[in-house]
A and B are shown apart, each in its own frame.
Chain A
């Protein structure tokens, strides 16, 4: 997948998971991994970027004698997610047209 495209989709995916409720790193990682193939190496920069943008915030909760870092969606993050959904809906429309064209010229859909 195109790296820029993947980046955007990843951002949107993480935001949408957080939109369902706050979650901690490992759980978030499992959720993402269950949807698309992604190593921790790829996930960390995403989280870092989203946090730097102010789209998600973090807080720590004690768990088994250590701190578990939770991520939550900020108001700005919620707004960004809404934009992503709009953009992706538009993209979906275009993909549909592209796939149709590919079906007409090449393999049977």
Chain B
């Protein structure tokens, strides 16, 4: 800043000596800002001096105004109408003296209390800023991880790469939105604290400024949010049709849940028929490992949202599974969580007269010499191994495939071995039936 300009500021400062500090500061701030802007705009010192006018005039004008109504709230000051009389100010003068004493006392006592009251808000604001920065940083990290993920996918899997990019963009977008919202929260808390701290302005004005500033900020934030949401949705739009998110979801959901194991043992001589019905647990029927034993064992892995029921009626063993009513949408949830199993172990050489295995969503695996077996599942797969015994077999699928000898068949039904003394019926609505 040129020295002649400094002189002008100095003359204003000297001229305003004795007026409230706040008034002087604001006048100087205004002129300093004007000079800085003018210099930035490339104005010469002479031009600026000319535009500033006479500093003596400034001082006079402000002194006149200050003596009329200093430190007054806007409501107290009558506005000069167009060409109307200017406010006289005689009544204001007395009221003003009391106001000044009062505000002086309040300022000193209040500042300390205010500092104590305001600092927690500042700390909270800073905390939010840190979390928000973390959110924005993790959006960047998501981008990095996505690039690394794409590089990890073997060449040739173009769709997977595209899908990975989509997922990454979606994740980064969501994280950035979260970060931004937290940032807004932090700014809100901080400006609230700031507003409490800076009470030198009349209350009404302050609130006006705050809301106006917030409105302006809101507009910009909205714009940013819309851009980020568009990016995130674009990523989702790319990723979803490739099917990869669904597969991730399914894999992610395939983790075996916590369960308790219940084992029941029956004398094989007493049991002629076995019926097992599950909601979503897998059913495994196989020959028990201990040769020479004569027990039928049922081993049930009970997840905490299911209940297993063992009953024997005559020579018929019945196991059924029902919901405890703990989880909503059990069908939907359990379909992905149906990783627990109920296992039926029969002694070697045992053939049930009838064995019925049914599950809504679980897979069914049968590996024992066939008696009469009926296995049905809605969405699970069935794997059947007759262990070389002769039987007549009929398999039906609606939406899935039938695989025999390792080769998928074209049709939805399959019949084999008409001559056997036992019949095996396998039926799956949506899954695959595999016959060994």
Q: Taking beta carbons and an 8 Å cutoff, which residues of A are in contact with B?
A: 2, 4-5, 7-9, 11-12, 22, 24-27, 29, 33, 39-42, 44-45, 47-49, 51-54, 57-59, 64, 66-69, 72, 74, 80, 84, 87-88, 91
Interface membership of B312, Cβ < 8 A = no
Residues in A whose Cβ lies below 8 Å from that of B204: 54
B30 touches A44 (CB 8 A): yes
Residues in B whose Cβ lies below 8 Å from that of A22: 212, 216
A54 touches B36 (CB 8 A): no
CB distance from A35 to the nearest CB of B (A): 14
A33 to B86, CA, bound (A): 25
A52 to B208, CA, bound (A): 12
A7 to B82, CA, bound (A): 7
Interface residue range, chain B: 35 or more
Contact of A40 among B26, B29, B53, B77 (CB under 8 A): B53
B213 touches A5 (CB 8 A): no
Residues in B whose Cβ lies below 8 Å from that of A33: 51
Total cross-chain contacts (CB, 8 A):
111
A11 to B216, CA, bound (A): 24
Interface membership of B144, Cβ < 8 A = no
Residues in B whose Cβ lies below 8 Å from that of A42: 53, 61
Residues in A whose Cβ lies below 8 Å from that of B26: 48
Main SS of chain B's interface residues?
A: helix
Residues in A whose Cβ lies below 8 Å from that of B57: 39, 41
Q: Taking beta carbons and an 8 Å cutoff, which residues of B are in contact with A?
A: 26-27, 29-31, 33-34, 36-38, 40-41, 51-55, 57-58, 61-62, 65, 69, 72, 74-75, 77, 79-86, 202, 204-205, 208-209, 212-213, 216
A54 to B54, CA, bound (A): 28
B79 touches A53 (CB 8 A): yes
B82 touches A91 (CB 8 A): yes
21 A-B residue pairs with CB within 8 Å:
A7-B80, A8-B83, A24-B37, A26-B41, A39-B53, A40-B34, A40-B51, A40-B53, A40-B58, A41-B57, A45-B61, A47-B30, A52-B72, A52-B77, A53-B79, A54-B74, A54-B204, A59-B212, A64-B40, A84-B82, A88-B82
A87 to B69, CA, bound (A): 26
A40 touches B205 (CB 8 A): no
> Closest chain B residue to A2 by CB distance?
B83
B205 touches A57 (CB 8 A): yes
Residues in A whose Cβ lies below 8 Å from that of B75: 54
A88 to B86, CA, bound (A): 18
Contact of A72 among B31, B36, B86, B212 (CB under 8 A): B212
B52 touches A26 (CB 8 A): no
